[in-house]
Structure 1
Amino acid sequence: MKFGRNILSFRNFSFRNRVVVIFVGLALGVLSLLYTNKMAQRLKEKEQHDVVLWTHAMERANRDVMGNSLQDPLIQDIINNSNNIPFIITDENLKVHYSHLVPDEILDHPDKLRRQIDRFTDENPPVQIRYWWSSDHYHIIFYGQSALLKSLYYFPYIQLLVITAFILLGFVAFRSTKHDEQNRVWIGLAKETAHQLGTPTSSLLGWLEYLRTQPVDQSAVDEMGKDLAHLMKIVDRFSKIGSETPLTPANINEVVGESVMYFRKRIPRNVTLDYNGLAIAPVQANINAALFEWVVENLMKNSLDALQGHGAIDVRISSDDKYVMVDVRDTGKGIPKSNWKRIFEPGFTTKTRGWGLGLSLSRRIVEEYHGGKIAVVDSEIGKGTTIRVTLKRSFEQ
């Protein structure tokens, strides 16, 4: 119970850490967005103020020289060299008299010019330059936003994307690190289990040979020998976890058949186990026989648990030009469709006992070691489930 509480505490702690990291990242992004928007608003007000100052300067220049202030070198120098605000100056008939940072292709095309003026008007209200000698004639400044101001508007969104990317990368790195750490723990545990089982199995082999020389029921001794041989297979499987696993061509019918035959003698009397593999043409696939037998046994044990002591299990082999399929079907309680994928997740189980690792381990053996697939292909509540293992077929050279 204490061990379970420690695991739960560790999971909650890591979850809280992830929530805190995400919250801090979002808070920084929002603060950056607010601060940058405030800076952008101030810059916009400054640019509008600058344009008003230009207007006053041009109006004063017109009054002083009674001419066109746009031709005044000082006014041109102030406008051209002291800002990066794009603008167009027109008369009251929208005839262009002067422009800055607006391409000629827009100025020379009436429709494009009109659209550009509309865009400037949406960004900032136009400003009129009045002549002191006539109220009927005036210039209009249509101006937009500087490149710097536009950059400030987009900058916080870029920051949010960068912060989000860092959070995601950190989360992936964290998950990967924890996953690798858990893998090392499980691999070490598996190898230590295999090592610890080695001594008693060797001792049991000696006792078994002793029993063969004694006046006891030799059929019982033979069955004990089969169980011991199976136990040694389990030790071998555990020792292979985390190691390089060679795959060799094997007769799938025989490999699956051996597991079925061993399992058939150890199931309840009210459960039937059928197998078609010995009655059809043999098919081959590149497998590690010890690990693949483990998968088949896990599937049959899972089916037996679903039957609850009464029903049928049917193991069937089929193939096509590319693949060989092994189906394990039962008449048990079935699986809700929402759990078809979840049953292969580590720790997921609907049983009152067990760690929920059998199907997860089977998926790992099939997909990572053998490059195959394992999935629920059919299940109906109260009628049963079919799980299929698919491997790439091989042919004799």
Structure 2
Amino acid sequence: MNPYEKKRRWKFFLLIFAIVIGTASVFYSDFFVKKMEREERLQFQLYVKVTEQSLVMYDDGNYTGLVDLIRTNTKLPVIMTDAQGQILATQGLDSTKTNYNLEKKENITYDPAYFARELRKMKKQHPPTAITGLDGSKWLIYYKDSSILTQLRYFPYIQLAVIGLFLLTAYVAFSSARKAEQDQVWVGLAKETAHQLGTPISSLMAWVELMKSRFDAEDDPLIAEMENDIRRLEVITDRFSKIGSKPVLEDHVVYTVIQDFIEYFQLRTSDKIKFSITGDDQVRAMLNIPLFDWVTENLLKNAANAIENDGSISVNIIENLAKEEVFIDVTDTGKGIPRSKFDAVFQPGYTTRKRGWGLGLSLTKRIVENYHSGQIFVKESEVGKGTTFRIVLKSSITYEPTA
């Protein structure tokens, strides 16, 4: 199992573990909420019975005992109305909204809209309980959940949201720190590689010149190919030296750049693989040749490795006039990629080869997106038939360098 698969599996297990903890927390809180709801319901039923008994005691029309009883109910918000919905008494609500006048023995309401609003809330939460009033008419008693119960009901969701936000912030922070550390390692390794390659390349150039002069081989095709490979090594060294610094982009004909590299690469690939390039041969884009050749090389190498026997690799260049973009499609007739792996192929360490490092497409994505302000993705693929990668670049007219 490659490192990317292991990391993804660990992420999956941690996600499942977090979901289990969150679900358990919600269910555990829900258990207490339901228990508290039952207790408040019993408290309300007891309150109704006491109220009925109080009405029997004060059947002479004196409401003092009834009102006093309601006023002492400080735990449960309650409103009592007559059959027409007129509020007779309240308790457990905002004390600043009403006042009880002991001399007149009546409620003086300061904010009728507040009590009407609270009554609507109670009607939505629980059905009323009917009792027989002093005059024989039906009275209705409403109640709503206490503030503690309401807070307890929403607490686990707020808790999960806060924990989720904290974990997301921590994940982003650690990922950014890890990415910065990885970038430093990449840059250091690349520059050291460029430095180490410099000396042997210079020696090889000197040896080639010595062979040409000693054996009078100025026009020898083998020497010419050796020089091509040495120049290729110089380009590779230049690539590594540019990692970590902002590359210079210049206006180039995309078709010509890709064709030049295919001519070099084709001579060093199996004769069973046929190469072709089609499309618009005049469209232009801002490119850094050493780095963009690296992109082309990685895509062509992957395509060649995917072809087990005979096959073909084609590059098609399309200009999207509507969006002023350049599409570069690299298609092979290899073994294809499962749809579930379309994104995974660009992850560092992902490879299907026993000796592969899984860095080629990761580097390709970095070069296209970070240095050329473009996109690269698997356009289409079918197992056993082949794959098409698409590169999207802005044409030279609309290119705006990344800050």
Q: What TM-score do you get using the length of structure 1 for normalisation?
A: 0.77
Residue identity (%)? 36
Structure 2 matches for 1:260-279, cutoff 5 A? Answer: 260-276=262-278
Q: Deviations over 1:243-297 (max 9, x none)?
A: 22222222223322221121122222333323347xx643211111110011111
Farther off after superposition, 10-19 or 61-70:
10-19
Residues 305 and 75 from structure 1, CA distance in 2 versus in 1: closer, same or farther, beyond 3 angstroms? closer
CA distance in 2, matches of 1:197, 1:313: 31
- Write the deviation string for residues 83-122 of structure 1: whole angstroms up to 9, x where unpaired: 5x4433245787653345598469889xx97x76754544
Output aligned runs, 1:365-384, within 5 Å.
365-384=367-386
User: Given the alignment of the two structures, is residue 56 of structure 1 paired with residue 50 of structure 2, yes or no?
Assistant: yes
Match of 1:360 in 2: 362
Partner of 2:165: 165
Residue from 234, 238, 241 that aligns with 1:239: 241
CA spacing shift, 1:30–1:318, aligned 2, 3 Å: closer
Matched to 1:56, the amino acid is: V
Distance 1:33 1:162, change over 3 A: farther
Partner of 1:349: 351
SS in 2 for 1:213: helix
2:39 partner letter: E
For 1:67, the equivalent position in structure 2 comes to 61
Displacement of 1:230 after TM fit? 0.3
Of 99-108 and 353-362, the range deviating more from structure 2? 99-108
Deviation at 1:304, TM superposition (A): 1.8
Aligned match of 1:147: 147
* Range that drifts further, 383-392 or 222-231: 383-392
Query: What are the equivalent positions in structure 2 for 1:308-323 lying under 5 Å apart?
Result: 308=308, 310-321=310-321, 322-323=324-325
Alignment size in residue pairs? 378
Query: Which structure is higher in helix share?
Result: 1
Cα offset, 1:39, TM superposition: 6.9
Equivalent in the alignment of 1:98: 89
| CA separation of 1:342 and 1:189: change in aligned 2, threshold 3 A | same
TM-score, normalisation: structure 2: 0.76
Counterpart amino acid of 2:328? Answer: V
How far apart, CA to CA, are the structure 1 residues paired with 2:225 and 2:284?
29
Which amino acid is 1:301 matched to? K
1:177-326 equivalences in 2 (<5 Å)? 177-215=177-215, 217=217, 218-276=220-278, 281-308=281-308, 310-321=310-321, 322-326=324-328
Counterparts of 1:156 and 1:330, CA distance in 2: 53
Is 350-359 or 191-200 further displaced after alignment?
350-359
2:79 to 63, 83, 88: 88
- Checking the alignment, whether the CA contact within 8 Å between 1:247 and 1:287 is kept in structure 2 is yes
Cα deviations across residues 320-345 of structure 1 (Å, max 9, x unaligned)?
A: 42122323233333334443433333
* Aligned equivalents of 2:125, 2:317: Cα separation in 1: 73
Indicate how the Cα distance of structure 1 residues 225 and 116 shifts in structure 2: closer, same or farther if over 3 A, else same: closer
Residues in 2 aligned to 1:392 and 1:13: alpha-carbon distance in whole angstroms: 34
Instruction: Classify the secondary structure of the residue corresponding to 1:376.
Output: strand
Deviation at 1:139, TM superposition (A): 4.7
Task: Kindly state the Cα deviation for residue 16 of structure 1 after the two structures are TM-superposed.
Answer: 5.9
